Amino acid sequence: MFTSVRPSRRYAVAMAGFDTFARVAKELRRDVLAARDRDPAARGVGQGEILATWPGIHALLAHRIAHALHEAGVPLAPRSISMLSRALTGIEIHPAARIGEGLFIDHGAGVVIGETAEIGDDVTLYQGVTLGGTGFQTGKRHPTVQDNVTIGSGAKLLGPITIGHGAKIGANSVVITDVPPNSTVVGNPGHPVRVDGRRVEGPDADWIHLPDPIAEAIQGLASRIGVLERMVSELSEQEPEPAAEPRPLRTVKGPNPAGG
């Protein structure tokens, strides 16, 4: 009886290991293709060179191995791999974090992905992004990022929030509430300033033409003040002063630096 059970267990363990290896290899290939397609620096670069020299790819490979070991209940090794990966790449990903296929981490220095974070497919992260928690609570405490989301440099997404499909998070935004699908978020605290209908899928690296809610608010106030000044001038029968034109806080004209 015992002789028949042991081989079957060994066979099951071997098959589980093979399936895990095949899954990690498939995910790694998708990660390399994502880096080649979305990184302008990868134009004309072979997949082997990307695999050997892109820190984001190294961090993802280490995470996928650490995550598989974590799911299998292996002690110590997952966190050791994560720590070594952080030292080598500057990217910290908790072994328990769930990451879909086609994630692209550009440059990657300072990227932190917490324990209960979940990332969908074809997501793009730039350097300095944090998917973090907001306290000492247990359970789900890190963001869920759905498919085709682009998160700009230095953005901080905190707490068990959901970033909707196709959203775009502006650089250095601090997001602490849910983000609707296909929307653009800027500011601290971050808030949606543009919610489009269905837009073209894929990463969007145009950070110049983001809406400027502060400039828009000032322009609205200036327009309202001009109307009130004209009303006062009419009532007092005085010649109205010429209306001052508000100067834009920043230039938002010009070509899309992302090439669009």
pLDDT at 235 over 90: no
Output phi, psi for 15, to 5 deg: -65, -40
Q: Which residues of 142-171 are buried (b: 16+ CB within 10 A; e: fewer)?
A: bbbbbbbbbbbbbbbbbbbbbbbbbbbbbb
The pLDDT score that the predictor gives to residue 212 is: 64
The pLDDT score that the predictor gives to residue 17 is: 59
The pLDDT score that the predictor gives to residue 238 is: 73
For Cα atoms 121, 203, 169, give the angle at the middle one, nearest 5 degrees: 90
d(CA 145, CA 131): 9
- Percent of all residues in the chain with a pLDDT value above 70, rounded to a whole number: 76
Two tokens, residue 42? 């990868």
- Residue among 165, 164, 161, 169 nearest 114 (CA): 161
Pairing state between β 183-186 and 191-195: antiparallel
Q: Over the Cα atoms of the chain, what is R_g?
A: 25
Task: Report helix, strand or coil for 99.
Answer: strand
The pLDDT score that the predictor gives to residue 6 is: 54
Query: Would residue 190 be called left, alpha or beta, if left means φ above 0 and alpha means ψ between -120 and 50 degrees?
Result: beta
Please say whether the beta carbons of 128 and 146 come within 8 A. no
Two tokens, residue 6? 């042991």
pLDDT at 79 over 90: yes
Average pLDDT of the residues of the chain:
82
User: What are the DSSP calls for 51-96, one per residue?
Assistant: HHH-HHHHHHHHHHHHHHHHHTT--SHHHHHHHHHHHHHS-EE-TT
Q: Which residue has the higher pLDDT, 211 or 112?
A: 112
Q: Alpha carbon 198 to chain centroid distance?
A: 19
The pLDDT score that the predictor gives to residue 210 is: 62
Question: Which run of H or of E encompasses 37?
Answer: helix 2-38
Output phi, psi for 214, to 5 deg: -65, -45
Amino acid making up residue 246: P
- Residue among 174, 168, 177, 244 nearest 211 (CA): 168
The pLDDT score that the predictor gives to residue 155 is: 96
Is it true that the peptide bond before 180 is cis, omega within 30 degrees of 0?
A: no
d(CA 99, CA 101): 7
Tens-place pLDDT, residues 188-232: 888 787 666 555 455 555 555 566 666 667 777 877 887 888 788
Contacts of 219 (CB under 8 A, 6+ apart): 246
Indicate yes or no: pTM above 0.85. no
d(CA 115, CA 160): 11
